[in-house]
Amino acid sequence: MSSRDEDKRLIERTIKGEKEAFELIIRKYQRSLFNYIGRMVGERQLALEFTQEVFLKTYSSLRSYQPQYKFSTWLFKIASNFVIDFWRKKKIDAFSLDERQNSNSHISPLQVAANEKSIIRKFEISQLRTKVEGLLREIPAGLREVFIWRHINELSYEEIAEIKGIPVGTVKNRVFQAKELIRKLLEEKNEVPQH
């Protein structure tokens, strides 16, 4: 049985009153959901609370789930809206981030510069992971979100497009911008002073 069919059957069983079937859903998706929420909010304890809340919200809305979509995309959509609501309540202007993405301030040059420095190769891979993890918190939430889905949750561009309701091309462009912004920040923060 495919993962999609398995999810569908588990949801049907849960709706019929077999709450234990939902436990299998939690076991299946808790890790990916926690990694997404954790890296979005940046605090482990808060991320655990939010992951719980998203599962509760998903459970209570199970009758609204449309089986033609993948369950994981629906789950991430609920999680994404949950994080956005949290920022709104805290008056963090998360959605100016989307506006900023549309401005040219974050768009890196499209062509490779003739004098491009080798920044990344200076680091060992373990050092680089630590740097990337840290810089991920500094990039706009809209870019961070697609970066996490693509490179940590390993979702396809099509799945991300479905979650956000945006074209696949826009997703590809945002993922590219996120990586280039991390590289740019890496360059700025690790620049060797010139004497």
Partner 1 sequence: MKCLSIEQIYLYIGQEFSPAEKKEIKEHLASCSKCKNAFEERKLLVQAAESLPLWETPPQFTKQVMARIFSIKILPSAWIKAAAAALASVSVTLLIVFLATGQNLSTLLLGLNHSLWNYVRNILPFFVKLFKLASLLLGVLQQFTGYLSKAFSWLTALAIWQIQLTLSIIAIILIATLIYGIKRKILVGEKA
Residue from 4, 88, 129, 189 that binds partner 1 (CB under 8 A)? 129
Q: Give yes or no for residue 118 binding partner 1 (CB under 8 A).
A: yes
Q: Give yes or no for residue 15 binding partner 1 (CB under 8 A).
A: yes
Q: Give yes or no for residue 23 binding partner 1 (CB under 8 A).
A: yes
- The residue type found at 70 is K
Spatial separation of the C-alpha atoms in residues 56 and 71, rounded to whole Å: 15
151-180: which residues touch partner 1 (CB under 8 A)? 151-152, 154, 172-173, 175-176, 179-180
User: Is the CB of 17 or the CB of 91 nearer to partner 1?
Assistant: 17
The answer to whether the Cα torsion of 16, 17, 18, 22 is positive or negative is: positive
- In the complex, what is the shortest distance from the CB of residue 185 to partner 1, in angstroms, rounded to a whole number? 12
Q: Give yes or no for residue 22 binding partner 1 (CB under 8 A).
A: yes
Candidates 35, 62, 46; CA nearest to 155 is 35
Q: Residue 6 class from Cβ within 10 Å (0-12 exposed, 13-18 middle, 19+ buried)?
A: middle
Q: Give yes or no for residue 59 binding partner 1 (CB under 8 A).
A: yes
Q: Helices 3-15 and 20-41, interaxial angle, to 10°? A: 110
Q: Residue 70 class from Cβ within 10 Å (0-12 exposed, 13-18 middle, 19+ buried)?
A: middle
CB 23 within 8 A of CB 16: no
Residues that bind partner 1 (CB under 8 A): 14-15, 19, 22-23, 26-27, 30-31, 34-35, 38-39, 44, 47-48, 51-52, 55-56, 59-64, 108-112, 114, 116, 118-121, 125, 128-129, 131-133, 147, 151-152, 154, 172-173, 175-176, 179-180, 182-183
